Amino acid sequence: MRKNAFFLVMLLSISPFVKAQSCQPFTINTTVSVENLSDEPSLIKIFPNPTNGIVSIKNDSDPIKLIQVYSINGFLIYEKSVHEYYQTLDLSLYQSGVYVCKVTTSNGDSKQVKIIKK
């Protein structure tokens, strides 16, 4: 996409009962940067994976601030605010399947991992 691109969008009704159209201009201002990208591996560890139920979450550099678990359909099924370097997550009550665990630290770093629950 070009920087500061200008677009014109036209909406047309295709209903046989209503004839309408609208034309609106808009501009997208974009800034692309790679300054904050890092080749360093994440220090957030989530294990074991696959799991029978209990998952350990560890981060040595900053306290864990938030743990979120999403179903494979994208629904938030678990959320917990913490302020610890180590935390356990009990998935034993959930059905077998694939879940997404998002861990956010106090400095804003985050990691998303697919967890397989046996």
Residues 59 and 84: beta-carbon distance below 8 Å: no
Task: Spell out the domains of the chain, with CATH numbers in brackets.
Answer: 44-117 (2.60.40.3080)
pTM, two decimal places: 0.65
The pLDDT assigned to 31 comes to 52
- Per-residue confidence (pLDDT) for residue 25, from 0 to 100: 66
User: What pLDDT was estimated at residue 1?
Assistant: 46
pLDDT value, residue 37? 46
93: left (phi over 0), alpha (psi -120 to 50) or beta: alpha
Give every residue of the chain whose pLDDT is below 70, as ranges: 1-41
Amino acid 18: pLDDT = 64
